[in-house]
Amino acid sequence: MNTDDLNRTYTRRLSELLSSADGAATLALLQKLQRAHAPEPDADAGTDTVGVWRRTGTELVRDAGRREEWRYWADLERVPLPVDRRRVVLLGESAARGYFFDPAHNLATLLGEALGRISGLSDVQVVDLARTNATHVDLEATAHQAVALAPDALVVLAGNNWHNLDLTPAQMQLLAEELRSGGFGAARTLFHRLVVEQAGRTLDALAATAHAAGAPITLVVPEFNLADWQDERSLVCPVLPGEDSRVWLELRAQAQLHLARGEHEQGAAVAERMRRLDGGSSHVSARLLADALAGHRPAEAEQALVTAKDTVVSPFTLHSPRVLAAVQDEMRRKADEHGFLLVDLPKLLRAADGDRAPGRRFFMDYCHLTFEGLALTAAAAAARLADQLGAPATTTEELLSAQTRPASATLAVAHFLAAVHNSHYGQPAHILRHHLDEALAQDPAVAVHLENYLDYQTRVTPHWMCASYEKSAQVPELARYLVVSDTRLTGKLADHDLREEMVRALESTGVPTAKRYEDLLVAEHARAESDLLVDVAQAATFRERRGSGVGTRTAFLRAADLTSEFHLVVDEPTDTELRLTWRLPAGETDADTVHVAVNGTALAAQRLGTAWQNTELTLPAALLRRGRNVITIGWPLRAVDGDRLVEDAAAALERGTTPSGFPAYGHLFACTARPLAATRD
Amino acid sequence: MRNNTEGPVVVGVSAHFHDSAVAVLVGGELVGAAHEERFTRVKQDPDIPREALRHTLREAGLTLADVDCVAYYEDPVKKLDRQLWMGLPQVPDSRPDALFRLDADRPFRDIREALGFDGRVEIVDHHLSHAASAYYFSGFADSAVLTVDAVGEWATTTWGRGDGDHLELIGETRFPHSLGLLYSTITGHLGFEVNEGEYKVMGLAPYGEPRFADRVRKLIDVTADGTFELDLAYFDFRNPQGMGTEKLTELLGVPPRVPESEIEQIHCDLARSLQLVTEETLLALAARAKRLVPSDNLCMAGGVALNVVATRRVVEEGPFKNVFVQPAAGDAGGSLGAAAVAHQRITGRRITARRMRSALLGPATPADEVARTLKGAGARDFLDFRDREGDLLAAVADRLAAGKVIGWYHGRMEFGPRALGSRSILADPRGADMRDRINASVKMREAFRPFAPAVLAEKAGEHFRLDHPSPFMLETCEVTSPLDLPAITHVDRSARVQTVTEEDNGRFYRLIRAFEERTDCPIVLNTSFNLRGEPIVRTPEDALLCFLRSSIDCLVLEDFVIDRAALPTAWRIWFEGTRPPRTSAVSDSVYTLL
């Protein structure tokens, strides 16, 4: 047998020995052992690209070849670069873009206005290079490109997206080890450390770039809507070792009961027990603790809110952007180290609002600022810049006092868009109501956009095809947010709570809407057969859409909590057949009882096992009503094999894929409803 | 949920290489099949086909609870063996593109975790899947079988025997000796996308002379008994920059063409030379098949079987009376074969012994859904022909006859690489500038690429040298028409014909007939409904976006006709001049061997 023949024998035997899951893990580990660190790619030096623009002699001209990216950047076809003006370059992310106000107002325009109010700075041009969704990689690249503009100063508002790390195989291996040794809580802690380390490197890189350009940096430390933001309900608790997941869920029910009864001390005690059990891996326990402490221990309650905000940040789930407290601290530390000027929003916002935890006064959602918040930030940054640019000292308050109020129509549209955005991140009805009422109070004419939304969001027709969307898209801020080509932001969702709040708000201001809306809903969605697993029937938020999120994408729906809701639209109520293909995930028992309810009334208790099962139930006409009906599946509270799930997640990390940290409580492959008359046909 | 059809429900799956797909058999009847890329809009999506599975089962009235078996289209252990060998002397191969790809457990894990299937899983060798996709769907009682592609696990070419219920592979050529990889290597050398641009090379070939044929023959040694070997000095299949070595360039005397650069005569000549050697080799392989299995029939599959020019020579010059080529001969079609083999293993019998007559196996969009979608656009000048098919066909045929380019969306989506009258762009084949116009401003692709004709089956013989049905556009033949058909006649007077019958093609047939009534031309130009770099459209919205982004004159969505002039201004502002996102998960510079 020659060498080649022997090689073939070796590889054949190896393939047989390494064909299992353990074999795949072995091969992946061997690959990682052999891999040298790849050299870092060279920076994008020497090109004439700046953001989505190309630099000509005297201006930036938007690159038609990057049209799909335009929506992330300032909506400017050309940016003049006059040689006789000083230049401040703004870098950052959507918070700096002035999400919901852009392009009418954004941080760059407000900063320019504030600088213009300072004696001797009227010549200063603010170049807006903030990019929605910018990560630390984007930020560093844009800063590097900005050097070509010969800036006199850089202003940076970023950090809310810095948890979007592109994990290396080595980092994933470290996370796998932490998972195995300490569960998701420990892995989350390690991840936060990685985020902070990366933040430090990014700030060092910005400092080096700024130094090379001879331009000082004004760094804005971002803040989060601590008082009014609640993370969505599908973010429950990552898998816990052993049978702790079941215990934790039982404690959650207890804590919620205590709080509902006003038993705050007992609620706090149970929340503390949950926290010990989840090892700091679930925001729910911290949030419950904050709720329990809010009335009588406000400082501790605020700290619990900070903890809840930070706890959500992990690679094992999707969540809204935010800045970690540890990253805020790192920004302050690096500002000292590199001599950055600092606009510390956490301090600034508290100082402006009686030391209260920041909430809806300054935030439209999780991290995007209200107009007041943007103006305050701009004024503070301008005040810091004044000295650097050789102008007389001024104060934030002085600059802010001269700030003009935006048009009511602009404020109204911004609050309307905020209502939409908040809804799609699972915010409660009272927050949606706040924004809708605010919108209508600012400008009753915004009602037409609410009506249009009810039309294009209710229709099966894609937004961009709807005449109603076309009408609203004439408003630049609206067209910027509900971007025509963005299937995420303009995808259809089951945001019935939002739409019904809109109907309520419109009716309360004298716009008759309810009947028209219900008729449209019925015309579009009452079918001879309704698939209740499509997004418009079951996903109220971006995160709830099937196929979104972290981890293995599945052909079936994974229930993220103990209850799942489905929205069935019917015309005239009639007996309706509900067909389900479902199963329970593997757990302590092979079978258990699942409960089905219609509009809050119990319908059936069904024994279900861990194998797929086709089930047919009848929804009696008496339980249905014209329009929207809610079908609720209550999944059983069962212990899952936490140790196995944690090990599976660690193994996935070793294979280079990021697992979901959250368990499923039920699986649904199909869920359809048919009026029985149609079924007989 | 499941209807009362006897026999097992088997789902065939191809995935993890390129162009993943599912096929569903119920009691040995093929009830549906679909490519994952059509749903995810990721060109050649290799991921486990979860959306295709959902939609295909739903279309068939089935759920996952009804499925008895999932058949996977290759053996992951044998594939791992080849991957490990390829990486030598490194064990394991640790280059960046190999990282985490040596995973023989992945098919089982994905079937269990992503598809949610915990039942019986059958593993079917890659080339057995190809062979079964041809033999079991051919309708032949017995047959020789030939499969030729780039690579599966180890085999790149196999010879097989189909006899009643049974199919076996009886010979093979193993990696790295591969006719498909030879073709792909020179495709890359010519500056075209590997695994996509092979069609372009075939289309370019008639513009050239085979003056490099002897040099190409140095790359492949075809023996007298019909096997072959590559001269491996000219190839480096591990190189992510390109699969040919410097020695290859020296031998050919043709520098690698920069992608998108001008195509010169030398490139045409190299393409012609490669095509000629491929045809010769395929004829030799077919002759060997005849010697091994002296049947009158030959079944073919594998990516090389989609080289319709070479296949035509096998049909015309080869030793078989009857040849069947699986229309989804590429890896997606492996899902069909894997399912058919699993059915045979479960029941001991072959699937229904009827020839596959239709590739319209994907989901449809009901006409009332289209109506509902268009209604949201408000009062527009869209033409509504519901319950008036005659008027619809008259309106469309009038436009075709007036030289309009039509986007045609009707019925169930095609399975396989060809648009066959469900998701098609149609035009009058007689227009002198039609080919250039569609290439340049509709499909936005290279000017030399030919288009195919769809012809009423009963009239095919009057216009083409073709004496048998060609329902899947899988054969080329000479254009003999008394009509001048420049848009579908290639430079060598050949055409890749689809024959259309009322029984199999319904409304599409009646449209061509309406066109013939106006023009005496029973032929339309038929090309796939997509832009360069995107999957064929699936939904009405996909079709509308393709319409808006191209210069198609008129869109037919089931019973509705939308003329460009009727498009809302806002739609045109938003989308004209834009391109679909070029999303692909597969390398186009080298063949994906991992």
DSSP string, A556-592: SEEP-SSEEEEEEEESS---EEEEEEEEPPS-SSSEE
Q: Please check whether residue A520 lies inside any domain of the structure.
A: yes
DSSP, residue by residue, B142-190 = EEEEEEE-S-SSSEEEEEEEEETTEEEEEEEEETT--HHHHHHHHHHHT
pLDDT digits (tens, 9 = 90+) for A640-665: 888 999 999 999 999 999 999 889 99
Q: If contacts are CB pairs under 8 Å, which of residues 388-447 in chain B contact chain A? A: none
Q: Is residue B236 part of a domain?
A: yes
User: Domain boundary residue among A524, A551, A577?
Assistant: A524
Nearest-CB residue to B77 (from A15, A31, A465): A15
Helices marked H in A445-592: 447-458, 467-472, 476-481, 496-508, 514-525, 535-538
Using the predicted structure, report yes or no on whether residue A254 has a pLDDT greater than 80. yes
Q: Do A470 and B369 touch (CB under 8 A)?
A: no
Q: Are residues B261 and B306 in the same domain?
A: yes
Q: Kindly state whether B51 is in contact with chain A, defined as any CB-CB distance less than 8 angstroms.
A: yes
Beta bridge partners of A155: A90, A218
Which residue from A21, A466, A556 is facing B116, i.e. has the nearest CB?
Answer: A556
Q: Are B48 and B110 in contact (CB under 8 A)?
A: yes
In a domain, A509, yes or no: yes
B-chain residues within 8 Å CB-CB of A7?
A: 85, 88
Quick: pLDDT tens for A354-401.
999 999 999 999 999 999 999 999 999 999 999 889 999 999 999 999
Phi and psi angles of residue B592, each rounded to the nearest 5 degrees, phi first: -75, 100
Domain extent at residue A251: 244-296
Q: How many domains does chain A have?
A: 3
In a domain, B587, yes or no: no
Q: Looking at the structure, tell me whether residues B282 and B402 fall in a common domain.
A: no
Question: Considering only alpha carbons, which residue of chain B is nearest residue A520?
Answer: B376
- Once rounded to an integer, what is the mean pLDDT over residues A534-561? 93
User: Does B106 reach chain A within 8 Å, measured CB to CB?
Assistant: yes
Which pLDDT does position A93 carry in this prediction? 96
pLDDT exceeds cutoff 70 at A46: no
Please, are residues A221 and A331 in contact by the beta-carbon 8 Å criterion? yes
CA distance B569 to A502: 29
Domain check: are B189 and B83 in the same one?
no
Q: Please give the distance of CA B308 from its chain centroid, rounded to a whole number.
A: 11
CB–CB contact B373 A20 (8 Å): no
- Using CA atoms, how far residue B537 sits from A432, B38, B42, in Å, is 37, 7, 12
Q: Note the helical H segments in A368-424.
A: 371-388, 396-401, 408-424
Q: Give the Cα separation of A517 and A455 in Å (integer).
A: 8
- B298-312 pLDDT tens trace: 999 999 999 999 999
Q: Please indicate, yes or no, whether residues B192 and B125 belong to a single structural domain of this protein.
A: no
User: From the list B115, B373, B375, which residue is nearest A555 (CB)?
Assistant: B115
Q: What pLDDT is recorded for position A295? A: 86
Position A680 scores a pLDDT of 46
Q: Is B584 helix (H, G, I), strand (E, B) or coil?
A: strand
CB A536 within 8 A of CB A492: yes
Overall domain count for chain B: 3
Min Cα separation B217/chain A (Å):
26
> Does residue B163 lie in a domain region?
no
Q: At what angle do helices A3-17 and B76-87 cross, to 10 degrees?
A: 130
Which residue shows structure tokens 């002085």? A398
> What CATH number corresponds to the domain at position A611?
2.60.120
Q: Are residues B399 and B252 in the same domain?
A: no
Pairing of strands B383-384, B523-528: unpaired
Q: What is the pLDDT of residue A600?
A: 97
Q: Share the mean pLDDT of chain A.
A: 93
Question: In this structure, is the dihedral angle defined by the CA atoms of residues A198, A200, A206 and A208, taken in order, positive or negative?
Answer: negative
pLDDT greater than 70 at residue A38: no
CB distance A222 to A323 below 8 Å: yes
| C-alpha–C-alpha distance, residues B5 and B120, integer Å | 20
Q: Do A550 and A467 share a structural domain?
A: no
Searching chain A, which residue's CA lies closest to the CA of residue B85?
Answer: A11
The Cα B235–Cα B593 span in angstroms is 14
**Residue B31 maps to a domain:** yes
Q: Do B581 and A68 touch (CB under 8 A)?
A: yes
Using the Cβ of B85 and the Cβ atoms of chain A, whether some distance falls under 8 Å is answered with yes
Q: Quickly count: other Cβ atoms within 10 Å of residue B27's Cβ.
A: 17
Task: Give the helix/strand (H/E) hosting B134.
Answer: helix B126-135
| Cα atoms in the Cβ-side hemisphere of radius 13 Å centred on A559 | 24
Residue A39: pLDDT over 60: no
CB-based contact B519:B481 (threshold 8 Å): no
- Domain end, chosen from B347, B377, B407, is at B347
Instruction: Find where tokens 């033949």 sit.
Output: B477
Query: In the predicted model, is pLDDT for residue A45 greater than 80?
Result: no
Q: Which residue in A16, A22, A27 has the most chain B C-beta atoms within 10 A of its own C-beta, making it the best mutation to test that interface?
A: A27
Is residue A198 in a domain? no
**Co-location of B480 and B436 in the same domain:** yes
Residues A676 and A552 in one domain: yes
Q: How far is Cα B588 from Cα A300, in angstroms, rounded to an integer? A: 57
Judged against a pLDDT cut of 50, whether residue A581 lies above it is answered with yes
Q: Do both A573 and A517 map to the same domain?
A: no
Are A475 and A599 in a shared domain?
no
Q: Is residue A220's pLDDT more than 90?
A: yes
pLDDT grade, residue A438 (50/70/90)?
A: very high
Which tokens is A332 given?
């302050």
Which CATH number is B207's domain given? Answer: 3.30.420.40
In this structure, the answer to whether residues A519 and A539 fall within a common structural domain is: no
Do B53 and B91 share a domain, yes or no?
Answer: yes
Question: Are residue A551 and residue A649 in the same domain, yes or no?
Answer: yes
Nearest-CA distance from B579 to chain A in Å?
9
Which of these three, A296, A325, A358, is where a domain ends? A296
> Chain A neighbours among B 115-134 (CB < 8 Å)?
115-116, 118
Would you tell me how many other CB atoms lie within 10 Å of the CB of residue A85?
A: 12
Contacts by A250-254, CB closer than 8 A, 24 or more apart? A250/A637, A251/A277, A252/A284, A252/A285, A252/A288
Q: Is A400 helix (H, G, I), strand (E, B) or coil?
A: helix
| The pLDDT value given to residue A681 | 43
Between CA B63 and CA B208 the distance in angstroms is 52
Q: Is residue B356 part of a domain?
A: no
Examine the domain organization and report whether A517 and A555 are in the same domain. no
Residue A485 sits in the same domain as residue A617: no
Residues B409 and B396: their CA atoms lie apart, in Å, by 12
Q: What is the pLDDT of residue B4?
A: 44
- Tell me what pLDDT residue B593 has: 66
A to B CB pairs, distance under 8 Å: 170
Q: Are A656 and A603 in contact (CB under 8 A)?
A: no
Q: Cα separation of A656 and A166, whole Å?
A: 11
Question: Residue A500 above 90 pLDDT?
Answer: yes
Task: Please give the structure tokens belonging to residue A317.
Answer: 């789930």
> A598 pairs with which residues across the strands?
A601, A631
Please name the member of B116, B375, B574 whose beta carbon is closest to the beta carbon of A464: B574
Same domain, B541 and B392: yes
Q: In A227-241, which positions are buried (b, 16+ CB within 10 angstroms) versus exposed (e)?
A: bbbbbbbbbbbbbbb
Residue A487 in contact with partner chain B when CB distance is under 8 A:
no
Tokens of A619: 């929804």
Query: Which residue among B63, B90, B377 sits closest to A467, beta carbon to beta carbon?
Result: B377
A225 lies in a domain?
A: no
Checking if the pLDDT of A679 tops 70, the result is no
The verdict on B270 and B384 lying in the same domain is no
Looking at the domain assignment, is residue A144 inside a domain?
no
* Helical axes A642-654 vs A21-34, angle rounded to 10°: 40
Question: Which pair of structure tokens corresponds to residue A248?
Answer: 């934790």
3-state SS, residue B135: helix
Reported as a single tens digit per residue, the pLDDT across A295-327 is 889 999 999 999 999 999 999 998 999 999 999
The answer to whether the Cβ–Cβ distance between A67 and B88 falls below 8 Å is no
Chain B hits for A38, CB-CB cut-off 8 Å, are 96
| Domain finish residue from A262, A296, A330 | A296
Rounded CA gap, B457 and B435, in Å?
Answer: 23
Note whether B103 contacts A: Cβ–Cβ < 8 A. Answer: yes
Whether B146 is in a domain gets the answer no
For residues B398 and B403, give the distance between their C-alpha atoms in angstroms, rounded to a whole number.
9
Q: Is residue A194 a contact partner of residue A315, using CB atoms and an 8 Å limit? A: no
A465 contacts B541? CB cut-off 8 A: yes
d(CA A440, CA A635): 40
Same domain assignment for residues B111 and B231: no
Q: Which domain CATH number covers B434? A: 3.90.870.20
Does A651 share its domain with A674? Answer: yes
The answer as to whether A542 is a domain residue is yes
Containing domain of residue B72, as a range? 9-137+333-347
Q: What pLDDT shows up at residue B296?
A: 98
Q: Are B179 and B249 in contact (CB under 8 A)?
A: no
Let me know: does B298 contact B320? Beta carbons within 8 Å.
Answer: yes
- Mind listing the pLDDT tens digit of every residue in chain B (594 residues)? 554 457 999 999 999 988 999 999 999 999 999 999 999 999 999 999 999 999 999 999 999 999 999 999 999 999 999 999 999 988 999 888 899 999 999 999 999 999 999 999 999 999 999 999 999 999 999 999 999 999 999 999 999 999 999 999 999 999 999 999 999 999 999 999 888 889 899 999 999 999 999 999 999 999 999 999 999 999 998 887 789 999 999 999 999 999 989 999 999 999 999 999 999 999 999 999 999 999 999 999 999 999 999 999 999 999 999 999 999 999 999 999 999 999 999 999 999 989 999 999 999 999 999 999 999 998 889 999 999 999 999 999 999 999 999 999 999 999 999 999 999 999 999 988 999 999 888 878 888 888 999 999 999 999 999 989 999 999 899 999 999 999 999 999 999 999 999 999 999 999 999 999 999 999 999 999 999 889 999 999 999 999 999 999 999 999 999 999 999 999 999 998 888 876 665 565 555 566
Residue A194 is encoded by which pair of tokens? 């990685």
Min Cα separation A553/chain B (Å): 6
Give the ranges where A261-323 is alpha helix by DSSP (H).
264-278, 283-293, 298-311
Same domain, B208 and B302: yes
Q: What residues in A contact B374, CB-CB < 8 Å?
A: 461, 465
CA neighbor of A183 nearest in space, from A652, A643, A537: A643
Measured between CA atoms, the residue of chain B closest to residue A671 is B63
B66 to chain A, any CB pair closer than 8 A? The answer is yes
A428 and A487 part of one domain = yes
Q: What ipTM did this prediction achieve?
A: 0.93
Q: Tell me the shortest Cα–Cα distance from A130 to chain B, in angstroms.
A: 23
Residues A445 and A494 in one domain: yes
Regarding whether A503 and A548 lie in a shared domain, the answer is no
Q: H-helix or E-strand containing B267?
A: helix B265-292
Q: Say whether both B132 and B247 belong to one domain.
A: no
Are B84 and A611 within 8 A, CB to CB? Answer: no
For B89, name the nearest residue in chain A, comparing CA atoms only: A7
Q: Is residue B72 part of a domain?
A: yes
Instruction: Confirm whether A81 is domain-assigned.
Output: no
Asked whether the predicted pLDDT for residue A44 surpasses 80, the reply is no
Minimal C-alpha gap between B175 and chain A (Å): 12
B558, part of any domain? yes
| Residue A501, in any domain of the structure | yes
Q: Is A456 touching B (CB cutoff 8 A)? A: yes
Instruction: Count the alpha carbons within 13 Å of B294 in the hemisphere toward its beta carbon.
Output: 1
Locus of tokens 């009362």: B4
